[in-house]
Chain A
Amino acid sequence: MKAVLTVVGKDAVGILAKVSTECAKYNVNILDVSQSILQDMFCMIMIGDVDKLNIPFGDFSDAMAKLGKEIGMDVHVMHEDLFNSMHRI
Chain B
Amino acid sequence: MLETRDILETISMIQDENLDIRTVTMGISLLDCIDSDIDKACARVYEKITTKAKNLVPVCEEIEKELGIPIINKRISVTPIAMIAAACRSKEVVKFAITLEKAAREVGVNFIGGYSALVQKGFAAGDKELIESIPEALSVTDHICSSVNIGSTKTGLNMDAIAMMGNVVRKASELTADRQCIGAAKLVVFCNAPEDNPFMAGAFHGPGEPDCVINVGVSGPGVVRAALARPEAQGLDLSGVADLIKRTAFKITRMGQLVAQRASQRLGVQFGIIDLSLAPTPAVGDSVAHILEEIGLESVGACGTTACLAMLNDAVKKGGVMASSHVGGLSGAFIPVTEDAGMIDAARSGALTIEKLEAMTAVCSVGLDMINIPGDTPAEVISAIIADEAAIGMVNSKTTAVRVIPAIGLKVGEELNFGGLLGSGPVMPVSKYSPLKFISRGGRIPAPLQSLKN
Tell me the A residues contacting B by CB distance below 8 Å. 4, 6, 34, 45, 47, 57-58, 61-62, 74, 76-87
Contact = CB atoms under 8 A, between A and B. Distances in A.
B11 A86 contact: no
B365 interface: no
24 contacts: A6-B7, A45-B7, A45-B8, A58-B65, A58-B66, A61-B68, A62-B65, A74-B15, A77-B68, A78-B10, A78-B11, A79-B66, A80-B2, A81-B67, A81-B258, A82-B255, A82-B258, A83-B6, A83-B10, A85-B258, A86-B254, A87-B6, A87-B9, A87-B10
Interface in B55-109: 61-62, 65-69
Given A83-B6, A83-B7, A86-B10, A57 B65 contact: yes
A86 B251 contact: yes
A20 B3 CA distance: 21
A47 B10 contact: no
Contacts of A83: 2, 6-7, 10
Interface in B1-51: 2-4, 6-11, 15
A85 B65 contact: no
Given A45-B4, A83-B2, 19 more contacts: A6-B7, A57-B65, A58-B62, A61-B65, A61-B66, A76-B11, A77-B68, A78-B67, A79-B67, A81-B67, A82-B68, A82-B255, A84-B2, A85-B258, A86-B6, A86-B255, A87-B2, A87-B3, A87-B9
A4 B11 CA distance: 11
A61 B69 CA distance: 12
Interface of B: 2-4, 6-11, 15, 61-62, 65-69, 251, 254-255, 257-258
Nearest to B19: A86
Report, nearest first, the 7 A-B pairs whose CB atoms are least far apart: A78-B68, A58-B65, A87-B6, A85-B258, A82-B67, A85-B254, A86-B251
Contacts, number: 61
The dominant DSSP class at the B interface is helix
Contacts of A79: 66-68
A4 B65 CA distance: 13
A84 B62 CA distance: 19
Contacts of B65: 57-58, 61-62
A34 B6 CA distance: 13
B66 A85 contact: no
A26 B276 CA distance: 38
A39 to B, nearest CB: 17
A66 to B, nearest CB: 13
Nearest to B68: A78
B7 A4 contact: yes
Nearest to A59: B65
A82 B67 CA distance: 6
Given A61-B66, A79-B68, A4 B2 contact: yes
A80 B67 CA distance: 8
Contacts of B6: 83, 86-87
Contacts of A80: 2
Given A34-B4, A82-B258, A87 B69 contact: no
B308 to A, nearest CB: 26
A79 B66 CA distance: 6
Nearest to B256: A85
A78 B255 CA distance: 13
A71 B9 CA distance: 24
B181 to A, nearest CB: 40
Contacts of B258: 81-82, 85
A13 B10 CA distance: 28
Contacts of B7: 4, 6, 45, 83
Contacts of A77: 68
Contacts of B3: 87
A4 B67 CA distance: 10
Nearest to B61: A58
A45 B8 CA distance: 9
Contacts of B62: 58
Given A6-B11, A58-B62, A87-B6, A76 B68 contact: yes
A85 B257 CA distance: 9
Contacts of A81: 67, 258
Contacts of A86: 6, 10, 251, 254-255
